[in-house]
A and B are shown apart, each in its own frame.
Chain A
Amino acid sequence: MKIGRTQVEYVAALANLEVDEDEKDELAEQLSRIVEFVERLNELDTDDVEPTSQVAALGPEISREDRIEPRTGSSEAAREVGLFKVPRVITER
């Protein structure tokens, strides 16, 4: 699959990324090469293969009692006003 400028713009918008005009062609070319490379996976028949999303040894023990425990950090982040403090997002103009 060849990726063109329009697709770069579309995907960049999905990803909340601004891309400079003069970068679009280079990105389209690089992404096309990478996508062409990953398409070699189509050589494999995977119709009857289950996907693997993770490889952790997850047993029933990963769930714990639903109990509030003190967490390092959060109390400090909330030190000043009892809430998480972040920079102001909406400002006056």
Chain B
Amino acid sequence: MNLGNTTAHELAAMYRNHETTVTQVIEAAFDGIEDRDADIGAFLHTRRADALAEAGRTDASFARSEEMPPLTGIPVAIKDNMNLRGMRTTCGSKILEDYVPTFTSTAVERLLRAGAIVLGKTNMDEFAMGSSTENSAFHPTRNPHSRDRVPGGSSGGSAASVAAGMAVLALGSDTGGSIRQPAAFSGVVGMKPTYGRVSRYGLVAFASSLDQIGPFSKTVRESAELLETISGFDPLDSTSAKMDRPDWVASLDKPIEGLRVGVPREYFVDGVDRQVQSKVEAGVARLEELGCRIEDVSLPHTSYAVATYYLIATAEASSNLARYDGVRYGYRASGGPSLRDMYRQTRKDGFGKEVKRRILLGTYALSAGYYDAYYLKAQKVRTLILDDFRKAFGQVDVIVTPTTPTTAFKLDEKVDDPLSMYLSDIFTITCNLAGLPGISVPCGTSSEGLPVGMQLIGNHFREDTILSAAHQFEMAGGFKS
């Protein structure tokens, strides 16, 4: 069997009707990875033996009862910055190449408890720093729609694994767009929940005030299901929100007639590819046909978001990555006359170019004499960006934008130009700074056959609104427009 376009819901029904077994599906998934992943490079490591053992036990459970959680037996891929006990977490970095965690992240734990089968860990930009998955210390990942193009990043492996039909679902993490941007480039659904919705315990920290775990899938319904499974309060993450977890799947069909949809004029500017713009405008028109009320909104500080983000994210990263010094984790350089020499040499050998660049920028922004001018200034502009959204959400329920200014770019095109790489996240970064939920859904393809993504942003903890709007957009044929 080919997992190609099979959804989690179709598989769930097939298991319950005894049309297939979990073992057959997991075997097919690994056959698919063997056949296709040499070309794509979505996975860093897989766990065939463990997954098949779990599949066997799951089949035995299905034989006894059909009352199992909806994700039981569904093959899922995990970005390699989330811990799964006993399996390496490399974070795409040489410095963690041999790091084997002794505990499982909360999100993955919840997935396993729901019966999902983890296939393996997916490729990513080192420490989630990048927008193309070219910054992996191991190999780049290629876009399944066009092999000479990037899948986006930093969760490019997860996006590509779903786009290529190797995994049915995947988890990624999103600090400045690292789920939504690769979802857009790879033609799948990807969502960043509200900050605090999903526990970050066991997720390797990049920028702690921005990081959030979220789902990839082919349909909106599956993302809703996966998000329901992984979200909820966790005492092990002090920023995790003590909020009720709504039944997002049940509210997918809630009528969206009369929903107020804001289109920020600042997001339809010069520099946005004409085809991307026209596809997203067509998407907005379709939402209007579905009964949404389209309104202009203004987010006047949008053009300052990338600068704000690169100061805050790098400052937090320089602090978070200070722990990789060769003492407690993974790689350690040999030699050097002093302990400090060992730290420096370890970090020099272990980190790649982009990670070093960001550590240096973050350290600079926090250093004596520059803290007020850079880090504090960025935190103040973050307040202005948050205020823009507060005002906009006083007026509308959902904000719609292009997910990215262009379709997937070519490998090597931006790798030596950090600033231009940073600017590919221009439309996704604001959600992280403001802590808002955002989902990217496909809205057609360019004349070259490359996917275009449309982003729906909701107010804090209103994932229900963007999920139902995105689902009904999908049902109306919006993904293929």
Q: Is the interface of B mostly helix, strand, loop or mixed?
A: helix
Say which residue of B103, B241, B303, B357 sits within 8 Å of A31 (CB atoms): B357
**Chain B, 340-376, CB within 8 A of any chain A CB:** 340, 343-345, 347-348, 351, 356-357, 359-361, 363-364, 367, 374, 376
Known: A16-B322, A53-B209. A3 touches B196 (CB 8 A): no
Rounded to whole Å, the gap between the CB of A91 and the closest CB of chain B is 9
The answer to whether A27 and B304 have CB atoms under 8 Å apart is no
Say which residue of B242, B310, B327, B384 sits within 8 Å of A61 (CB atoms): B242
Per-residue CB proximity of B294-305 to A under 8 Å, as 1/0? 000000010110
Q: Is B460 an interface residue (CB 8 A)?
A: yes
Say which residue of A38, A51, A76 sits within 8 Å of B310 (CB atoms): A38
The answer to whether A30 and B418 have CB atoms under 8 Å apart is yes
Q: Which residue of B lies closest to A91 (CB)?
A: B334
Interface residues on B, range: 35 or more
The answer to whether B434 and A55 have CB atoms under 8 Å apart is yes
**Which of A17, A33, A37 has the largest number of chain B CB atoms within 10 A?**
A17
**Chain B, 426-456, CB within 8 A of any chain A CB:** 433-435
Known: A46-B381, A86-B328. A11 touches B367 (CB 8 A): yes
A7 to chain B: which residues have CB within 8 Å?
364
Bound-complex Cα distance A37 to B322 (A): 25
Rounded to whole Å, the gap between the CB of A12 and the closest CB of chain B is 6
Per-residue CB proximity of A14-30 to B under 8 Å, as 1/0? 11111110000001001
Q: Is B155 an interface residue (CB 8 A)?
A: no
A82 to chain B: which residues have CB within 8 Å?
none
Bound-complex Cα distance A15 to B382 (A): 25
**Chain A, 41-66, CB within 8 A of any chain B CB:** 41-44, 46, 49-59, 61-62, 64
Q: Is the interface of A mostly helix, strand, loop or mixed?
A: loop
The answer to whether A51 and B364 have CB atoms under 8 Å apart is no
Bound-complex Cα distance A73 to B85 (A): 8
B284 to chain A: which residues have CB within 8 Å?
none
Per-residue CB proximity of B260-288 to A under 8 Å, as 1/0? 00000000000000000000000000000
Say which residue of A14, A52, A77 sits within 8 Å of B386 (CB atoms): A52
Q: Is A6 an interface residue (CB 8 A)?
A: no
Bound-complex Cα distance A30 to B356 (A): 12
Q: Is B471 an interface residue (CB 8 A)?
A: no
Q: Which residue of A lies closest to B359 (CB)?
A: A15
A64 to chain B: which residues have CB within 8 Å?
235
Bound-complex Cα distance A87 to B331 (A): 11
The answer to whether A38 and B307 have CB atoms under 8 Å apart is yes
A18 to chain B: which residues have CB within 8 Å?
344-345, 347-348
**Chain A, 74-92, CB within 8 A of any chain B CB:** 74, 76-77, 86-87, 89-90
A39 to chain B: which residues have CB within 8 Å?
307
**Which of A20, A62, A74 has the largest number of chain B CB atoms within 10 A?**
A62
The answer to whether B364 and A3 have CB atoms under 8 Å apart is yes
The answer to whether B364 and A56 have CB atoms under 8 Å apart is no
Say which residue of A16, A34, A51 sits within 8 Å of B325 (CB atoms): A16
A11 to chain B: which residues have CB within 8 Å?
360, 363-364, 367
The answer to whether A40 and B419 have CB atoms under 8 Å apart is no
Bound-complex Cα distance A58 to B239 (A): 7
Rounded to whole Å, the gap between the CB of B219 and the closest CB of chain A is 29
Say which residue of B301, B311, B356, B383 sits within 8 Å of A50 (CB atoms): B383
The answer to whether B381 and A72 have CB atoms under 8 Å apart is no
Say which residue of B235, B348, B380, B461 sits within 8 Å of A46 (CB atoms): B380
The answer to whether A15 and B241 have CB atoms under 8 Å apart is no
A41 to chain B: which residues have CB within 8 Å?
304, 307-308, 311, 377-378, 381
**Chain B, 96-113, CB within 8 A of any chain A CB:** 101-104
Q: Which residue of A lies closest to B432 (CB)?
A: A55
B229 to chain A: which residues have CB within 8 Å?
none
Say which residue of B311, B318, B376 sits within 8 Å of A38 (CB atoms): B311
**Chain B, 215-252, CB within 8 A of any chain A CB:** 235-236, 238-239, 241-243
The interface of chain A, by Cβ under 8 A from chain B, is 3, 7-8, 11-12, 14-20, 27, 30-31, 33-35, 37-44, 46, 49-59, 61-62, 64, 71-74, 76-77, 86-87, 89-90
A-B contact pairs, 12 of them (CB 8 A): A15-B318, A15-B360, A16-B322, A17-B344, A40-B304, A40-B307, A41-B381, A49-B383, A53-B379, A62-B238, A64-B235, A71-B236
What would 5 more interface pairs be, CB under 8 Å, given A17-B344, A72-B103?
A14-B363, A16-B325, A49-B384, A52-B382, A73-B85
